[in-house]
């Protein structure tokens, strides 16, 4: 694999008027964390179009309100990924950053339709691909935070 050294900037903007929507999501996300303490992943399902959201959303893209929680699996498919490494920081050696790149992946858990983000552990970047199957690496003790969802391993 060839590594490129130039920095890539992608123009864009965030619509900050969605703050209230994000605040409303917190209560839904708390339900996910409580279910995780029982060893389950849950998502909410739209009655209008059937979309299953993980993380749960208060409003569907079809403008209905997802009103049912369903259990989803802890296995997932990689839909996109990127990784870090000292090659990304000109003038910094591998030893100064870390010998092991971090792999950040967009994944869709089985039973849901939306992407979430996790690190993939136990593989090198050139072993990762879109469509790769992974499994959530449950922490020894689930704390009920986003960190519980931070790691996946290949299936
Ligand atoms: Zn919908």
Is the pLDDT at 43 greater than 90? The verdict is yes
Measure 72 CA to ligand 1 centroid, in angstroms: 17
Measure 92 CA to ligand 1 centroid, in angstroms: 47
Domain boundaries, the chain: 17-154
Give the mean pLDDT of 34-62: 95
Measure 78 CA to ligand 1 centroid, in angstroms: 23
Q: In what order do the strands lie in the sheet with 41-45?
A: 52-53, 41-45, 68-72
- Residue 18: its pLDDT value, please? 56
Residues, CB within 5 angstroms of ligand 1 (ion): 46, 48-49, 51, 60, 62, 64
> Do 90 and 65 form a contact (C-beta atoms < 8 A)?
no
Output 2 or 38, whichever has higher pLDDT. 38
- Residue 3: its pLDDT value, please? 64
Measure 45 CA to ligand 1 centroid, in angstroms: 8
- Residue 146: its pLDDT value, please? 85
- Which of 16-20, 59-63, 71-75, 90-94 comes out lowest in average pLDDT? 16-20
How high does pLDDT run on average in the chain? 86
Identify the band that residue 27 occupies on the pLDDT scale cut at 50, 70 and 90. confident
Is the pLDDT at 112 greater than 90? The verdict is yes
């Amino acid at each position: 694999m060839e590594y490129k050294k130039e920095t890539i900037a992608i123009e864009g903007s965030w619509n900050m008027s969605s703050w209230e929507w994000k605040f409303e999501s917190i209560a839904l996300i708390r339900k996910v964390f409580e279910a995780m303490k029982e060893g389950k992943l849950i998502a909410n399902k739209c009655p209008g179009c059937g979309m299953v959201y993980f993380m749960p959303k208060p409003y569907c893209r079809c403008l209905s309100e997802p009103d049912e929680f369903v259990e989803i699996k802890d296995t997932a498919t990689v839909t996109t990924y990127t990784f870090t490494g000292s090659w990304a920081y000109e003038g910094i050696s591998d030893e100064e950053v870390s010998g092991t790149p971090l792999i950040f992946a967009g994944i869709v858990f089985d039973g849901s339709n939306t992407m979430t983000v996790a690190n993939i552990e136990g593989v090198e970047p050139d072993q990762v691909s879109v469509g790769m199957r992974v499994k959530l690496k449950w922490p020894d003790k689930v704390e009920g935070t986003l960190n519980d969802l931070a790691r996946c391993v290949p299936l």
